[in-house]
Chain A
Amino acid sequence: MNHHDPIESLISQTALGQRHAFDSLYSLTSARLFGVCLRVLNNRAEAEDVLQEVYITIWQKAGSYAVTGNSPMTWLITIARNRSIDMLRKRRKNMGPEVLERLVDPTPGPEQQLLQKAVKNQLDTCIDALQDDKAGAVRRVYLEGDSYQDLASRYNVPLNTMRTWLRRSLLKIKECLGQ
């Protein structure tokens, strides 16, 4: 762990209840996390609500950061992503199926937009190496909050088949990443 990472030391000071550290942490990271919330939720008002929850969680949970073994940005991004997905799932639950149908497959979807980006990190490379028409499933789960049920309907396979297939893909990705 790199103790000279400024974000990491701000998280540690926030854990001690130092508000000025929390203020600096907010200034340094809120734009990045707000971007993540907006990307997942695609709704400004919801993203603003979630970002508030995210920083309240950060203040309350900063003390448990060290035991996660995450890099500081991963810890923050994971909170933002998970809170956004929770909100997304709550929204989907409250919507009728007809509204959901209209939401399926917008073109070009965010996933396609992501693929169009020239820069590829190692995970992207490994996901693409699956050489499968379903290579986008992991991205869909992480950034769109798809459940196994969503994926099974999307790819038109039984739920158990979907799960077996995705677990196998995850192991291939892991091998490729050399985790």
Chain B
Amino acid sequence: MIEHPPISPEDSATVAEYALGLLPEAEATSFVARLNQEPALRAALANWQNDLATLTDEIDPVQPPAHLKAAVDQRLFPQATPNLWSRIGLWRGWALAATLTAAVLAALYFQPSETITGPFFVTEIRSENAEMQIAALYDPANNTLTLNRTKGGALPDRALELWLITTGNAPVSLGVMALSEQSRHSVTPILARALNGAALAISDEPLGGSPTGQPTGQVLATGALVQL
């Protein structure tokens, strides 16, 4: 470790006050400016922080609840492929599980495996407050995205429009959702190849869908596609 020249007792006490969060705001601001300039002060601060942290030695570790890591990941990597915990979270809804089981079984049963041209994708499209929940499954056998709305719906005289969001591109409309709970949307082969790492979003639009080809209303719910 590099030896630093000793700092004055005055500064030593200030470093400790800073480490404890006791410095009045104005003093803290000017102290931070000095900290950036003076390596000896930074070394003294590291010493205090290391020593003060030992006050937590006797605190028993407590396992945080499992959903917490998923929440952290959701906030840090909202567009990324969910990790295992989020995948498990996906299986919460009975409706989703039922849709999936039926669709996968149907696809596997009715289609010889060699005609299946690509992977299945699933997601749950949710609003932030969970007031809209839609299970989505992409079936490569017929290039169709099937949506099963379990919660929420369009506002009076408005429509829900489905969008495919891929990194670095403008949203692509997959059409206006049916009023019934189940809605089918065909996906062109070019778009189908972009599903890995993509997300689905639902926006609030005028009846008949967005007049501009891009979302014009509020984005109500989103979900990242997961490859099965």
Contact = CB atoms under 8 A, between A and B. Distances in A.
Contacts, number: 122
Interface string B40-70: 0011111111111111111111111100110
A48 B68 contact: yes
Contacts of B50: 70-71, 74
Given A139-B55, A179-B47, A35 B71 contact: no
B72 A123 contact: no
B99 interface: no
Nearest to A86: B21
A171 B53 contact: no
A142 interface: yes
A89 B65 CA distance: 25
Given A56-B72, A85-B21, A35 B54 contact: no
B54 A122 contact: yes
B200 to A, nearest CB: 23
Interface string B1-19: 0000000010011001100
Interface stretch (B75-83, B109-117, B135-143, B163-171): B75-83
A48 B20 contact: no
B22 interface: yes
A166 B17 CA distance: 9
Contacts of B71: 52
Contacts of A26: 69, 72
Interface residues of A, number: 53
B75 A70 contact: no
A77 B48 CA distance: 13
A143 B46 contact: no
Interface in A88-115: 114
A119 B13 contact: no
Contact of B76 (A30, A56, A119): A56
Contacts of A81: 53, 56
Given A32-B61, A55-B72, A147-B22, A78 B47 contact: no
Nearest to A114: B58
A59 B56 contact: no
B51 A179 contact: yes
Nearest to A23: B83
B6 to A, nearest CB: 10
Nearest to A116: B58
Nearest to A170: B16
B21 to A, nearest CB: 6
B52 A174 contact: no
A71 B59 CA distance: 18
B75 to A, nearest CB: 6
Interface string A102-144: 0000000000001001010111100000000000001101110
Interface in A144-179: 145, 147-148, 166-168, 170-171, 173-174, 177, 179
Nearest to A38: B62
B12 A70 contact: no
Contact of A179 (B17, B42, B48, B62): B48
14 contacts: A19-B83, A30-B68, A34-B63, A39-B59, A56-B75, A68-B46, A69-B42, A114-B55, A141-B22, A168-B13, A170-B13, A170-B16, A171-B13, A177-B51
Interface of A: 19, 23, 26, 30-32, 34-36, 38-39, 48, 51-52, 55-56, 59, 67-71, 73-74, 77-78, 81-82, 85, 114, 117, 119, 121-124, 138-139, 141-143, 145, 147-148, 166-168, 170-171, 173-174, 177, 179
